[in-house]
Amino acid sequence: MSVKDAIEWRKTVKIYDDNRAISSKELETIIEAGRMAPSSMGLEVCNIVVIKNKEIKAKFAYDVLNGSNVEKGLKCDTLVCLVGYNATYLVSDEFLRSRLHRNEALDEKKLSETIEKYRQYLENHNNLTSYVDSQVYITTAFMTLQAADLKIGTTIIGGFNAHHSNDLLHELGYIDKNIKHTVLLLALGKYDEKTNGATFARKRISTEEFAKIVK
Ligand SMILES: Cc1cc2nc3c(=O)[nH]c(=O)nc-3n(C[C@H](O)[C@H](O)[C@H](O)COP(=O)(O)O)c2cc1C
């Protein structure tokens, strides 16, 4: 599929077919798309927790998802929790060093100076949580389009309780909630395009309303 075809094929899935699984290879490809997403200053502020285990996925669906999303969480093949670094950890020496030490041109002195420069830049940002979260959204978009390319359905899920998600992921040992927080969830799975209500008809504003082309 071309990117254009994947964009056209992708629709938010409302009803998954729980009889059809995603292969490990397909899941790996979708994860890789997320890993390859761009990030501000290359800091890679997004991680994912990929829940395939049925019991944990069901616990997540009942404890964390809201309304009609519960059913999607139960029936999708895989539920991805997209987490971002908390503002306090983002500016820590530990985090900045973990990212910046990859630059081989920096000796220890230059590395320390660069960490300080990055920290100052970040501390001057007026909303570090939104800085992190907006990058998690980009990662989500990359994964969603890669899934479409494989004809795997997706639901970006903003309708969930973030506190419950952080608590559950922390309890299960998948994140340290003092370091990371849940930004979005992404359901992945096959679905039957002919099932009534599996997706909704596309509604979009006109190109004229969406885009002003300045010539
Ligand atoms: C940030 C965000 C949060 C969303 N949250 C939900 C959600 O909780 N449940 C759901 O069914 N769809 C959710 N959606 C999907 C939108 O409702 C959907 O993208 C929109 O209605 C357009 O439909 P389409 O994706 O089929 O083109 C979300 C989309 C985005 C970008």
One DSSP character per residue, 145-201 reads HHHHHTT-EEEEE--B-HHHHHHHHHHTTS--TTTEEEEEEEEEE---TTSTTSSPP
The domain 3-210: what is its CATH number?
3.40.109.10
pLDDT at 202: 95
Extract the tokens encoding 45: 């502020």
Q: What is the pLDDT of residues 1-40, one digit of tens each?
A: 899 999 999 999 999 999 999 999 999 999 999 999 999 9
Q: Using CA positions, which residue lies closest to atom 29 of ligand 1? A: 156
The separation between the first and the last C-alpha atoms of the chain, rounded to the nearest angstrom, is 32
* Backbone region of residue 68 per phi and psi (left: phi > 0; alpha: psi in -120 to 50; beta: other values): alpha
pLDDT number for residue 106: 86
C-alpha pair distances (Å), 116 with each of 51, 84, 93, 101, 120: 36, 21, 9, 13, 6
Identify the pLDDT of residue 49. 98
H helices present in the chain, as ranges: 3-9, 24-35, 54-64, 69-75, 87-90, 93-100, 108-123, 128-149, 162-171, 207-210
Give the chain's mean pLDDT.
97
Residue 140 Cβ inside 6 Å of ligand 1? The answer reads no
Overall pTM > 0.95: yes
Q: Can you tell me the distance from the alpha carbon of 101 to that of 107, in angstroms, rounded to the nearest whole number? A: 9
Question: Ligand 1 in contact with 158 (CB < 6 A)?
Answer: yes
Mean pLDDT, contiguous 10-residue spans, the chain (215 residues): 96 97 98 98 98 97 96 98 98 97 91 96 96 98 98 98 98 98 98 95 97 97
Beta bridge pairs of residue 156: 186
Gap between the Cα atoms of 53 and 45, Å rounded = 25
Could you tell which of 135, 156, 160, 183 is best to mutate to test the pocket of ligand 1, judged by most ligand atoms within 8 Å of the CB? Answer: 156
Cβ atoms of residues 46 and 84 within 8 Å: yes
